[in-house]
Amino acid sequence: MKARTIDAFQVIADPSRRQMMHLLSKDSMTINSLAENFDMSRPAVSKHIKIMYNAGFISIKDIGRERYCTLKQDGFNELQDFINYFDKFWTNKLNKLQSILNNKSKK
């Protein structure tokens, strides 16, 4: 699993990552306390965190000796960009259909 090349849709396709984001949606958490909720190795948890971080779903802040993960909007925006793109796409296309048909009736 390469951490860098994963896009937003792939990030949220993984159930563990979604679970992590749900936990983080309630509160910022340290990587350690996040890991306590999962039956997986610490390196596996770190890998998921790195993936979410790279895709802009979380930010990481060092406070004292702990690393805090916080949910971030950027990753979600990428998902939303897709919907917005197609929403605008259909509006443009349907306007075009309307003007074609309107011209047709004038003839």
Q: How far apart are the first and last CA of the chain?
A: 60
Binding window for other proteins (CB under 8 A); candidates: 33-41, 47-55, 94-102: 94-102
Q: Report the alpha-carbon distance of residue 69 to residue 30 in Å, rounded.
A: 6
Q: Which of 4, 25, 36, 62 binds other proteins (CB under 8 A)?
A: 25
Facing residues of 60 across strands? 69
Among 12, 23, 44, 60, binds other proteins (CB under 8 A): 12
Interface with other proteins includes 32 (CB under 8 A)?
Answer: no
Residue ranges that bind other proteins, judged by CB under 8 A: 7, 9-10, 12-13, 15, 18, 21-22, 25-28, 61, 63, 68, 70-71, 73, 76-87, 89-91, 93-94, 96-98, 100-102, 104-105
